[in-house]
Structure 1
């Protein structure tokens, strides 16, 4: 880990550099610099950043790099979100910055961007109780998460932010005196699906983060006393009713705003209004958490990586259970084979160098593998694949979700030669092996509860040099499980290169 670092964040309206160092267990910001450059306007209106702005971007990063070097930082991290993520010419921009400044740019996905914010909100609010709603409005994306206690059980990332809404709809603004109704109508399709889920819960706490919520608090006359600030419904609506009646030019003049702030204020307030109305919260709890500060914390504190990874794994499992419940999964069966699968994994992990991340992917796949039965029992694994690919699962990026979907797709295949890979991005050797390994374990576990009646009370696992022996303790007839095991064990032998046997305690099957 490092003691002094710099981050350069390429945001939609600014480039932000922060230089920070570790001071005991806290982060001390030594320097914070901004360079205004509205990349989001180009990306969200024409899908590409102009030559002139790329030139200015390169120069600004070069200047920031020189300042960071004067501070003798040990590491400079450059990252970007929606403004570059959605630009069609982002690859050329990345190439130019690398060539001109010898710096790599990491472009965060929607999921990664929102994960950073959620981790910051959780860390500054450690005693979360009941159901809570987290929201982060960026200029180009919207992230929403529902937590139960301290675990994220539902999350959604939408490529829709305040500046993006303005760029999409601003051609309509001069045609109506009720532009807020136009924005409400545009948002309704996105809010509807959230409404179905969130209104089933009893959400009393609504946490929000982002530049926009800090601006709203400032305009509402709210002063920050700690990491959070509270905006009551009454204060919010007083400001909203004033903002919705004014044009961006009028807002700019009345509140002394910048041009981008004036253009994005109404869209961001309309999003917050809709989200707040899905909850019973009497206020919006604004958070001062920023992406830059969270990136800095992760760079400076090694133990934080481990803690966040552990928390992220818990979120994945909690969210997977939430998705499975939505599709009326057989919870008892899933929990039975989940324990079996994880016990087998743990017996194999040291010898076959299986990682903790792979364990979590297996666990999520076990929970979700049968959800396709909600749609149709026939070829349910195909439906499971589709539902997993198209579900929002907290803290899972698209690659990991794709792996889980393919494990579920293949849990009915008899051999590695029949392995189905539907996505061309997963056709390299390591992806196929990972899917096959975890599928093999799932298939063995699934076969041991083929009757869905928990046929044994105890499972003993012995890993020998050339064999994995499973010994079960039961008085029940397990004819069906024996038959399923013999059919489903072939892929295990093919991928791990060892035999696998099923024995009844003190009795050879």
Structure 2
């Protein structure tokens, strides 16, 4: 019987997942996420600010306490966009090791996409036709064209929600000029993706966790329905459009009042939904599926399958 802890050091959010594995049986012992905002104030200058480092260290020390409390034998910590692009990233990795004894593995964008694919596959059946998985992080966005068995194409783009927020969300509510500037930027940055969509013609968009989870929460709240404890959900295109129209016309305070909205998502959700809307305008999808599993579940699967040595 193994106890495994997976730490996902994201650009916005830090996740801790602790499980007990006995053969095929996986029991979640502890799971939580903390809004750390590692990229805040520095991501556009490719650095991690002192304030962000303090928040990160405090959170990782807390995670370390949980790992010791549950007497976990195997720990794997991965860091993504903010850390891999920061000029002081390596220095901070060393600082974390010294102060917490947590070894951070800074993963590439393509490795991140592969782990996300593994996580989504654990949450839901992708099917035999090509689908597009999309994971909107704070620093990067991963896209994977795949079916149940194969990855046909994957790429990580450094256009995450914190970066887009810094560059384009100049007014609140966001202005038409802001949105047009954002769409013009995406038109250039996402050319490789748009070409692959023409090649593979996926009709299912699978959103991985994060923003998509919040959109599902808001959709259930709008219908006054209790959200079931599932690993995957469907979000109708009409439901998405209603949420899009509501969110972009509201300022921060008004967005916060929308049932289902959470504090850690309220700022970045505007540019995130604009990114989804951009995709829907450029390619015909029939449905949006949402996987509650993402990177950390993919990393866990790779550890269990001994693809990662811990």
TM-score range, shorter chain: 0.7 to 0.9
State how far apart, in whole Å, the 1-side matches of 2:186 and 2:175 are. Answer: 17
Deviation at 1:112, TM superposition (A): 0.9
Alignment match of 1:288 (pick from 292, 306, 310): 292
Task: Report SS of the residue matched to 2:120.
Answer: helix
Aligned to 1:61: 60
Counterpart-to-counterpart distance in 2, 1:219 and 1:257: 6
Report the Cα distance in structure 1 between the residues aligned to 2:96 and 2:103, rounded to whole angstroms: 7
The whole-number CA distance in structure 2 between the counterparts of 1:191 and 1:9 is 26
Specify whether residues 190 and 104 from structure 1 end up closer, same or farther in structure 2 by C-alpha distance, changes over 3 A only.
same
* Alignment-derived partner of residue 132 in structure 1: 131
Alpha-carbon separation, structure 2, partners of 1:278 and 1:146: 16
Q: Check the 8 A contact 2:42/2:48 in 1, yes or no.
A: yes
* Superposition deviation, residue 113 in structure 1: 0.9
Aligned counterparts of 2:4 and 2:242: Cα–Cα separation in 1: 42
1:111 is aligned to 2:141 = no
RMSD in angstroms over aligned alpha carbons?
2.5
Aligned with 2:266 (options 249, 262, 265): 262
2:250 equivalent among 234, 246, 253? 246
With over 3 angstroms needed to count, the CA separation of the structure-2 counterparts of 1:26 and 1:186, relative to structure 1, is farther
Relative distance call for 1:153 and 1:178 in structure 2 (3 A) is: same
Match of 1:72 in 2: 71
- Are the structure 2 counterparts of residues 95 and 264 from structure 1 closer, same or farther at C-alpha, using a change threshold of 3 Å? same
Distance in 1 of aligned mates of 2:45 and 2:105: 22
Q: Distance in 2 between matches of 1:106 and 1:257?
A: 32
Within 5 Å, which residues of 2 pair with 1:469-480? Answer: none
Deviation track 1:450-504 (CA, whole Å, cap 9, x = no partner) reads xxxxxxxxxxxxxxxxxxxxxxxxxxxxxxxxxxxxxxxxxxxxxxxxxxxxxxx
Which SS does the other structure have where 2:238 is aligned?
helix
Q: Classify the secondary structure of the residue corresponding to 1:88.
A: coil
Distance 1:161 1:277 in 2: 19
Q: Distance in 2 between matches of 1:190 and 1:297?
A: 31
What's the TM-score, normalizing by structure 2?
A: 0.87
1:127, 1:47 → 2: CA distance?
Answer: 35
| 1:401-420 map, 5 Å | none
Whether the 8 Å contact between 1:206 and 1:279 is mirrored in structure 2 is: no
Point out where structure 2 has 5 or more consecutive residues left out of the alignment. Answer: 222-226
Q: Distance in 2 between matches of 1:32 and 1:286?
A: 19
Question: Given the superposition, is the C-alpha separation of residues 190 and 47 from structure 1 closer, same or farther in structure 2, using an over 3 Å criterion?
Answer: closer
Match of 2:179 in 1: 180
User: Which runs of no fewer than 5 residues in structure 1 stay unpaired?
Assistant: 307-509
Q: How many residues align?
A: 303
State the partner residue of 1:419: none
Query: Residues 43 and 84 of structure 1 are in contact (CA less than 8 Å); yes or no, is this contact kept in structure 2?
Result: no
CA 1:27/1:38 → structure 2, altered by over 3 Å: closer, same or farther?
Answer: same
Pick closer, same or farther for the CA change 1:93–1:277 going to 2, 3 Å: same
Corresponding position of 2:204: 205
Q: What is the CA–CA distance in structure 1 between the aligned matches of 2:140 and 2:279, rounded to whole Å?
A: 15
Q: 1:72 to 1:260 in 2, by over 3 A?
A: closer
Structure number with the higher helix fraction is 1
Give the Cα–Cα distance (whole angstroms) in 2 for the partners of residues 294 and 149 of structure 1: 15
- d(CA) in 2 for partners of 1:8, 1:65: 10
User: What displacement does 1:233 show?
Assistant: 0.8
Cα distance in 1, alignment partners of residues 31 and 143 from structure 2: 28
Cα deviation for residue 92 of structure 1 reads 1.5
Contact residue 129 and residue 148 of structure 1 kept, 8 A: yes
Change (3 A) 1:252 1:7: same
Find the counterpart in structure 1 of residue 224 from structure 2.
none
Give me the whole-angstrom Cα distance separating, in 1, the residues matched to 2:259 and 2:11.
22
Superposition pairs of residues 123-162 of structure 1, within 5 angstroms: 123-126=122-125, 128-147=127-146, 150-162=149-161
Displacement, 1:120? 2.2
Q: In 1, distance between residues paired with 2:36 and 2:174?
A: 29
| Cα shift at 1:6 | 1.4
Larger radius of gyration: 1
| Higher share of residues assigned strand | 2
What is residue 88 of structure 1 aligned with on the other side? 87
Instruction: Mark the CA change 1:54 to 1:192 in structure 2 (over 3 Å): closer, same or farther.
Output: closer
Q: Which is bigger in relative contact order (C-alpha 8 A, separation at least 6)?
A: 2
Distance 1:103 1:149 in 2: 34
> 1:234/1:8 Cα in 2 relative to 1: closer, same or farther (>3 Å)?
same
Distance, in Å, in 2 between the alignment partners of 1:264 and 1:198 is 25
Task: Give the Cα–Cα distance (whole angstroms) in 2 for the partners of residues 229 and 31 of structure 1.
Answer: 23
1:218 & 1:261 partners in 2: Cα distance? 12
Give the drift of 1:117: 0.8
